Amino acid sequence: MHDLGYFREHLEEFEKMAADRGVSIDFAAFRAIDQERRERITFAEQLKARRNKASEEIPRRKKAGEDVSAVLAEMKQVSEEIKLADERIAELDSKLLDFMLTVPNRPHSSVPVGHDASANVEARRWGAPPKFDFKPLPHWEIAENAGILDFQRAAKIAGTRFAIYRGLGARLERALAAFFLDTHAANGYTEILPPFLVNTAALTGVGQLPKFAADMFHLEGTDLWLTPTAEVELTSIYRDETLDADLLPIKLCAWTACFRSEAGAAGKDTRGLKRQHQFQKVEMFKFTRPDQSYEELESLVANAEQVLQKLGLHYRVVGLCTGDMGFASSKTYDIEVWLPSANEFMEISSCSNTESFQARRSGIRFKPKGGKSEFVHTLNGSGLAVGRTWLAIMENFQQADGSVLIPQALHSYLGTDRIPAVKP
């Protein structure tokens, strides 16, 4: 969220930001609400000044033996007008807050302007696509043939867009999560195991609410939601706290299940594991000083890349344009892994600097010694999406006989170097 005073004074800049992002923001409504609010405040202050003056005058006039009944009647009316004005100001304050919660973050100056993925800029690639002397299969065919993935029985439990992992399939999912966490711990991240249920305040703090309510699962009759990403929990660990500047940057990572309704995604990437209602992910998160945050963003991306390099998976890093970034982001890099069956790249990690946007919404500050407190910058990145890494391994390391080779980095976690082709 943005500072209201700054927003009011820089409306033209925010109007340009909205145009660059390709989003519609009702600035006219903001101006009308803000104008009325300021007028009401001025009116209420004038009334309160009259009441204060009368409060001083009434005892003096009583002492002089004067009749004050008319003044008392007038002040009763003034008090009623003040009450009505204050109530209206509170309503307008609420409307302004609701409005400000819908305004996205401002892109960093280095972010390319564009309205969709066609304006994204590829930064670099690592590795090369695997070569096959046979037609590569999609991951769901490989896995179902090997008996390690079952969508039909999962549908009996929870409906479509869910999966049951079986045997080595389940073990590979668990091995990947452990490998990710161990790798990040070696890079100085503290592992967190948070709740998988989050409240409205936590979701509002990161920018998921109110805008993206339809994309999440709400527990009826409660203030709790199924977490869409551990970014929510990790941000809220320090919600409404002031951090010691000497502790920054704070680096955290967490494995959680994630739940998304995928509203509006019907018919898109619904085969296989790419777009499930429930999936597992390891999230990296940083709280930093403002002057550290862009350096820390680059290292965050490097940490995600390191995992893919250890697994030997071909990928590319893409800088997102203004119109393709998330609501809370000031700058985002997507890391996309190669999928042989589709002959294209698929996002496997998104790494963002939200600057002070989430910290302001969540009330997270830091205080330098001898200085004033200010908002931290927050950064988040997938490190990595477990299910998407799982399917990338299936497709990139498949063999002609239907088996799948396991990357060397996972041998000690999985206890084998291959998933056999034959169903157990």
Which sequence positions are flagged as catalytic?
Answer: 260, 275, 347, 350, 388
Radius of gyration of the chain (CA): 28
Helix (H) / strand (E) element for 55: namely helix 27-63
Neighbours of 134 (CB within 10 A): 9
Gap between the Cα atoms of 305 and 352, Å rounded:
14
| Residue showing tokens 């082709």 | 421
List CB contacts of 318: < 8 A, sequence separation 6 or more. 120, 121, 122, 123, 333, 334, 335, 336
CA-to-CA distance for 361 and 297, rounded, in angstroms?
20
For the record, the structure tokens of 289 come out as 């000083």
Rounded Cα gap, residues 286 and 253, in angstroms: 9
Burial string for 318-330 (b: 16+ CB within 10 Å, else e) reads bbbbbbbbebbbb
User: What kind and span of H or E run contains 174?
Assistant: helix 168-186
Contact 105, 354 (CB under 8 A): yes
Counted residue by residue, the chain has a size of 424
Question: Residues with Cβ < 8 Å from 25, sequence gap 6 or more?
Answer: 14, 15, 18, 102, 103
Tell me the one-letter amino acid at 99.
Answer: F
Paired residues of 27 in beta bridges: none
At residue 216, the 3 state secondary structure works out as coil
b/e per residue 336-369 (b: at least 16 CB within 10 A): bbbbbbeeebbebbbbbbbbbbbbbbbebbbeee
Q: For residue 306, give the nearest of 284, 287, 332, 322 by alpha carbon.
A: 284
| Two structure tokens written together for 241 | 């706290």
CB 14: neighbour CB atoms within 10 A? 19
Q: How far is CA 144 from the centre of its chain?
A: 33
